Structure 1
Amino acid sequence: MHFVKKVPTSEQEKAAKRKEHEKRAQQFLRVRDRIVAKRDKGEYDEEILSLTQQILEKNADIYTFWNIRRTAIEQRIEANRNYLLELDVLDEEKAKSAQKVENLLAGELFLSYECIKSNPKSYSAWYQRAWVLQRQANPDYVKELALCEKALQMDCRNFHCWDHRRTVSRMAKRTEEQELEFSNRLIEENFSNYSAWHYRSIALTKIHCDEKSVKLDDSILAAELQKVKNAFYMDADDQSAWTYTRWLLENGSGKEFLRPESCTPIQLISASFHGTNTTLVFTRAVTVPYILTLVDTDDETSWRGFSSTSPSPTSARVWQYVSDTPLQIANPLETPEKSENFAWMSLTDTPYVNVAKLKMIFDVEEPKEPAFIQELLEDCRQLIELEPKNKWPLYMRSLVLMEYRPIRSHSEIVDNLKLLAESLDTKRVELYKSLISRQKLNFSIREQFARLLSHESDELVVRYSELTSLEGVEFLAGLVGSADFSGN
């Protein structure tokens, strides 16, 4: 306990504790050896259930002993199943046999419950409960969900319990709307419940999104931002609500700087012929087999990928096909497989350029700004005034400006990121340097975008812009023939 002076342990007490520990260790080894011997002989009887229970009550994380118990129980379930198929057995006897199995499974739930009480983060004990529920004739899902909720009240970030609850919810066929309401209840009890916010994001996605679209409707986003706003003003220093807000902002965004590459859909950005090679540029790294679904060749040997991480990558955003003859690309490009009915697009005279995607990548045009985004910006501004040393409102305002006002608010974005890097969040200085560099790169590219797109010139000039990274330049590989980055 705090502020309680520790009393030194005497040598006699240490010796007694050591002796007691050795005694318990010897007892454990004897029981363990007995269990292993019986398992090796295939003796999954009542004794092996009793012995494994003795050990697991003291240490629930010995997964092998849970496996042994499952084998023993499965044998009894199978024996009961065969018994019920016998024709000359009375219904009363069959009922007794079935009830005996149910009692055994109920006892297993009790054992795992006792183990969880002493170790709430025992993966093995939680897994055992799910295994038992899947084998009970009439599992009590309501009681099990109540147990999960009680455990989450004790530790809202117990991911073992969260995993178990997801399993039970599926077994109980609960709707995503019910799960959304569950997350709502947890958040109302504790705005700092990071896991509940995360669970809410999963439920919202399953309810409102499909395989073709991962973007939430503006009405949903507005309602969620209104909900999270209460958390901002209760404790602006708590990261849970801010992290959830970032997820809302990322939802449906085409900006790679906000999301990991794995979340970016694969799209062809440009395809162009340069005399000795055909260059293809994609939104994310792809392999040669994927490219062959888009072009009029099956040759896998003449491709060369470009990557900053490997001289000979198997997956890359930029690929060149070395040949004096230009390739043709499948049209429409949205269809990932070639067919006999495809129209082919020639690159001899005019390259293909996904102009809309490039405009999004380099912030050439600002998207429409919904009213709820304007309100979020104003909330962040007020919180910055109230708590000027709090990084979260400034960080969130910067992200929103990068998404919706990258041109109008370029200077403010850079100033905000510098303040975060130099004062408010120095542990993530490299992150902010990278974001600043990307904003400055985008600024320079916007000034030259029309010229590059019209093929008036294929030179990109970004001098003395304090760039720390060239990430993003690769998207212009099909339009740029030479580049000048001197002074960076």
Structure 2
Amino acid sequence: MHGRVKVRTTAEQEEIRKREKAAKVAQYKADIAVVFQKRKDKIWDDELLLITKRMLLNNSDIYTLWNIRREAFQNNKWSDEDYKQLLENEKSLTENCLKENPKSYSVWHQRCWVMEQMPEPDWKKELSLCAKCLNIDERNFHCWDYREFIVQKAGISNEEEFEFSTTKILNNFSNYSSWHYRSRILYKMFGTIEEIPIIDEKYRQELDLVMNATFTDPNDTSAWFYQRWLLDKCMTICRLWRALVNKDTAIIVIDNNILIKPVSLSLYVNNEVVDVQWQLYPDEKFAKLQIARFVNPLENLDHAKKVFIKLQETTYELSYSQIESAWIYKDNSKLHRQNSNDEQLNEQLKSYNQLSKMEPNNKWALLTGILLMKKIDLKKFYIDILNNLTALSKIDSLRKNYYKDLRSKLLVEYKLLEIWKGESDMEIQSKIDLPGLGLTKLHNNHYFSFFEHVYLDANQLENSLHQFSTLQQCTRLYLSSNGITSLKHFPTLHNLEIFSLRNNKLTSTEEIINLIKRHKNLLSLDLRDNPIYNPTNIILDDLNTRCEIFLTTM
């Protein structure tokens, strides 16, 4: 037995680990107590820097310690030479921390701060550091973000960065971080405010590049996500879509993304601004529907010569409609959409359809096919799109609810396009029929703002009642057979007169009473075939209303 190394038992090893862990915890508690006390006493000495350095080398994600180190740097009166040396030491500390934890938010943030404090920062050297880190892990998005920061400071051109991203992508199509970085560079160089994110010529080149990548490795998600960015609608300007102004009310609907909050919005009659208070629906800063109800009716509106709305810096002139007895504005650009690269998109669609036949279980090919068909012509490919969604729900069953929501979105868009195409220039359609379609969401609900009669029976909208806040013009709403169990999140619709909730799962008399109290114009409420225990007379006893309530008698 002599001369043999003694092997510790499992119990002994566990005991040693426990003692080591207890010692580390005790040391941490002692160190953190000293650090916080010094911070409280505003003692920014070398001991504080030494202790926090030791702690950060053990765990660089304790962002409070980095904050304290910055406070120490800022509150001490260092000589220029000492301060410069301390910053160099801090750079070395962040490098050592990054070796252990290259994806630490706190460390990268600290390095940005250090570089901005340096009197003569070496940005080129930082680029070399980024290259080194990306060679180790090309998907380190923290490093990609830091590179973008360094590039701006170093004055590196977008063209150089574009070439850098191209090199990285060609080396490895699976580099998602590089695809994402590329999208940001491209938007800076070639961004548009149209239906596509970048100008047409570059857009075509990127479509070809990404298709090559997706066919090289159809099961890798990186290029597919970039493909989605290319195909998604990319309207970024805030513009007016519909407006209606009569003597009592002004209704405006803003289309596309609202980038500036709050939105600057004014109504003018005969070149004079009208003093109004806009109410947002829903009540949030991103709301696209805004309504003003005039305390004093605009009696001179019928004889006005000019009515216009100023949204941000753009003026939109309204026209008087005899049909609506109101001044209206309509943007019909969605009806006349035409892609200059439809031929290329059709070729891509054929290619992805072939890929789907070769790899029938590849969800990305099917999903991209849907996006392509929607972009080319939703009406033409409507049935094919629905078939693809059905196939996707089977292939990728874990995300079937996502595909249901996507199906709802496309069904609604299709129906809206049909309605808009049937309108005259001086008419706003007041009715929409969407029964029995299996809708799970009321997508694009700001487009429902002008409908007075809304039929949504036999859908699956039980969890989407909050989206109905934009139906402020609705007088008749039909939500029978939607599996609704509660009215807690149903918004107040000021013009609602007839409301059908037949054949749902409502049980709360209190919620029904609250609904009736909030809707002063309600004339008829159909609650038949709901499991409500209380008979009609008990509900009416709590109300003073002209509303006629229909309940199934027990």
TM-score normalised to structure 2 length: 0.68
Measured after TM superposition, the shift of residue 198 of structure 1 is 0.7
User: Are 2:50 and 1:50 equivalent residues in the alignment?
Assistant: yes
Instruction: Return closer, same or farther for 1:449/1:51 CA change in 2, 3 Å cut-off.
Output: closer
Measured after TM superposition, the shift of residue 203 of structure 1 is 0.3
Measured after TM superposition, the shift of residue 460 of structure 1 is 3.0
1:280-318 per-residue CA deviation (whole Å, 9 max, x = no partner) reads 3332698998575134464445x66554xx7x9994525
- After superposition, residues 71-110 of structure 1 pair within 5 angstroms as 71-74=71-74, 78-81=77-80, 98=81, 100-110=82-92
Matching residue of 1:377: 349
Instruction: Return closer, same or farther for 1:394/1:314 CA change in 2, 3 Å cut-off.
Output: closer
In the alignment, the residues of structure 2 paired with residue 160 and residue 436 of structure 1 have an alpha-carbon distance, to the nearest angstrom, of: 35
Instruction: Report SS of the residue matched to 2:150.
Output: helix
- Letter paired with 1:393: A
User: Are 2:254 and 1:282 equivalent residues in the alignment?
Assistant: yes
Matching residue of 1:418: 390
Query: Unaligned 5+ residue runs, structure 2?
Result: 1-6, 460-554
- After superposition, residues 88-237 of structure 1 pair within 5 angstroms as 98=81, 100-209=82-191, 215-237=197-219
- After superposition, residues 246-395 of structure 1 pair within 5 angstroms as 246-250=228-232, 252=234, 263=236, 265-273=237-245, 276-283=248-255, 290=263, 292-296=265-269, 298-300=274-276, 306-307=281-282, 315-317=287-289, 319=291, 321=293, 324-325=297-298, 333=309, 336=312, 349=325, 351-359=327-335, 367-395=339-367
In the alignment, the residues of structure 2 paired with residue 407 and residue 338 of structure 1 have an alpha-carbon distance, to the nearest angstrom, of: 32
**Structure 1, 135-144 or 191-200: larger mean CA deviation:** 135-144
Matching residue of 1:59: 59
Instruction: Report SS of the residue matched to 1:202.
Output: helix
Instruction: Report SS of the residue matched to 1:293.
Output: strand
Instruction: Return closer, same or farther for 1:80/1:388 CA change in 2, 3 Å cut-off.
Output: same
Instruction: Return closer, same or farther for 1:187/1:175 CA change in 2, 3 Å cut-off.
Output: same
Measured after TM superposition, the shift of residue 350 of structure 1 is 5.7
Q: Is the 8 A contact 2:35 2:51 kept in 1?
A: yes
In the alignment, the residues of structure 2 paired with residue 54 and residue 39 of structure 1 have an alpha-carbon distance, to the nearest angstrom, of: 17
1:423-471 per-residue CA deviation (whole Å, 9 max, x = no partner) reads 1222332332233334444444444445432668945353655151443
Instruction: Return closer, same or farther for 1:210/1:313 CA change in 2, 3 Å cut-off.
Output: closer
Q: Is the 8 A contact 2:335 2:421 kept in 1?
A: no
Instruction: Return closer, same or farther for 1:137/1:211 CA change in 2, 3 Å cut-off.
Output: farther
**What's the % identity of the aligned pairs?**
29
Instruction: Report SS of the residue matched to 2:291.
Output: strand
Instruction: Report SS of the residue matched to 2:24.
Output: helix
**Structure 1, 351-360 or 48-57: larger mean CA deviation:** 351-360
In the alignment, the residues of structure 1 paired with residue 83 and residue 43 of structure 2 have an alpha-carbon distance, to the nearest angstrom, of: 18
Instruction: Return closer, same or farther for 1:390/1:334 CA change in 2, 3 Å cut-off.
Output: farther
Q: Is the 8 A contact 1:451 1:457 kept in 2?
A: no
1:44-97 per-residue CA deviation (whole Å, 9 max, x = no partner) reads 343333333222222223334334433444466x5424xxxxxxxxxxxxxxxx
Instruction: Return closer, same or farther for 1:149/1:230 CA change in 2, 3 Å cut-off.
Output: same
Measured after TM superposition, the shift of residue 391 of structure 1 is 0.7
Matching residue of 1:18: 18
**Structure 1, 120-129 or 269-278: larger mean CA deviation:** 269-278
Matching residue of 1:259: none
In the alignment, the residues of structure 1 paired with residue 266 and residue 297 of structure 2 have an alpha-carbon distance, to the nearest angstrom, of: 21
Q: How many residues align?
A: 442
Instruction: Return closer, same or farther for 1:470/1:209 CA change in 2, 3 Å cut-off.
Output: closer
- Letter paired with 1:372: Q
Which one scores higher on RCO, CA 8 angstroms, separation ≥ 6? 1
Matching residue of 1:257: none
In the alignment, the residues of structure 2 paired with residue 405 and residue 53 of structure 1 have an alpha-carbon distance, to the nearest angstrom, of: 60
Measured after TM superposition, the shift of residue 226 of structure 1 is 1.6
TM-score normalised to structure 1 length: 0.77
Matching residue of 1:409: 381
Query: Unaligned 5+ residue runs, structure 1?
Result: 1-6, 82-97, 255-262
**Structure 1, 402-411 or 16-25: larger mean CA deviation:** 16-25
**Structure 1, 167-176 or 237-246: larger mean CA deviation:** 167-176
Instruction: Return closer, same or farther for 1:354/1:47 CA change in 2, 3 Å cut-off.
Output: same
Measured after TM superposition, the shift of residue 228 of structure 1 is 1.2
Measured after TM superposition, the shift of residue 207 of structure 1 is 1.0
User: What CA RMSD, in Å, does the superposition of the two structures yield over aligned residues?
Assistant: 3.8
**Structure 1, 48-57 or 411-420: larger mean CA deviation:** 48-57
Measured after TM superposition, the shift of residue 117 of structure 1 is 1.0
